Amino acid sequence: MNEKASVTDIASPREKKGRRGAGGITLRDVAKLAGVAPITASRALNTPNAVSPEVLQRVRDAVERTGYVPNMLAGGLASNKSRLVAAVVPTIAGPVFLETVQSLTESLAQRGYQLMLGQSGYQDSREDALLEAIIGRRPDGVVLTGIMRSAEGRRRLLASGIPVVETWDLTPTPIDMLVGFSHEKIGAEVAEYLHRRGCKRVATISGDDERATRRQKAFAHAAIKLGMCKRGTQEIPSFVVPAPTTLGSGRTGLSDLLARHPDVDAVFCSSDLLALGVLTEAQAKGLRVPDQMAVIGFGDLAFAKDLHPALTTVRIDGTEIGRTAAQFIIDRAEGRPVASPIHDVGFAIVERASA
């Protein structure tokens, strides 16, 4: 074979015409440029220890010159491994899931797996359609945000046999494996925290997604039991905004709450972005935080500690969620048992100046 073949000479017009698509570079082209047989080029790419260093370098040089990308689907059919893991999050517009996604990406990459990310949305969720597309590509694992609520999606995942990790929630009956925490416990403990600090008229500003709603309801239930509502009433003032939440919706929420309930002295927000909006609106209205009103967020985003006043919030270890979910998927994909398939990462209330 001619080792000096150029990139433009590596396939004849007839060969290019016969390829699928628009005439992309093939393994045969790489082999021709490297001066080796296609099977040797394949070994160099898939099992580099099986060829000599000199052959390996020639093949790698040819790959670099051509821009060739191996067909991982074709290799996966032979090995039954795609080295691909799919993750589904509601949105990347809100930063609360980014720590988990980053940790998941890095943990998988360290073991030779790549992450494919999909957004399901909150309202009119696209989760079922997205899962159908993902399952059809047979990844080595699927990581979901929250507990799968759709019966059809659950059936498809169970039937696929693909390892699944549900995250950012807690249930005794996951599809397969789970790494998360209790939203109900968070709501109850935040109410107790505010009660210990002498708050008497609490309120919530919450996104309308299912997990935030459960935190809000648990908070309200605990606050009512602790007597943190108006005498003669059995409700906690609330303002619900569309998810994903924003700073602007936090400002609107506080303005509405104070118009209806001017005696509110503490607000629990379902996100740090909402809490930032509340702090901004409180400052605009001349309210002193925390002297006149305490504020608590959720997520412990990077800006929380640098606000003035610094934001009290609920910290979730997104890094541990991503790292543990990656290990669960890798263990199952490589045939190792997962001893404890349900892992509760817990949470922490980070006390700062706003409450």
Q: Domain ranges for the chain, please list them.
A: 7-70, 83-181+319-345, 183-315
- Cα 68 to chain center, whole Å? 31
The per-residue DSSP string of 184-203 comes to: HHHHHHHHHHHHHTT--SEE
The pLDDT tens digits of the residues spanning 50-106 come to: 899 999 999 999 988 888 876 655 555 455 577 899 999 988 776 888 999 999 999
The pLDDT tens digits of the residues spanning 244-270 come to: 899 999 999 999 999 999 999 999 999
C-beta of residue 37 within 8 angstroms of C-beta of residue 44 = no
C-beta of residue 289 within 8 angstroms of C-beta of residue 309 = yes
The reply to whether 83-181+319-345 shares the fold of 7-70 is no
Q: How far is CA 149 from CA 44, 125, 154, 245, in A?
A: 45, 11, 8, 22
The pLDDT tens digits of the residues spanning 291-331 come to: 999 999 999 999 999 999 999 999 999 999 999 999 999 99
Out of 15-29, 111-125, 185-199, give the one with best mean pLDDT: 185-199
Q: Which CATH architecture has domain 7-70?
A: Orthogonal Bundle (1.10)
Q: In this structure, what are the phi and psi dihedrals at residue 186, rounded to the nearest 5 degrees?
A: -60, -50
Q: How many angstroms separate the CA atoms of 96 and 38, rounded?
A: 47
- Asked if the 83-181+319-345 domain carries CATH number 3.40.50.2300, the reply is yes
CATH dotted code for 183-315: 3.40.50.2300
Structure tokens at 109: 């990459």
Element (H, E) at 79: helix 72-79
Phi-psi domain of 71 (left: phi exceeds 0; alpha: psi -120 through 50; beta: other): beta
Nearest by Cα to 140 from 342, 327, 343, 332: 332
Query: Does residue 7 carry a pLDDT above 60?
Result: no
Q: What is the pLDDT of residue 13?
A: 40
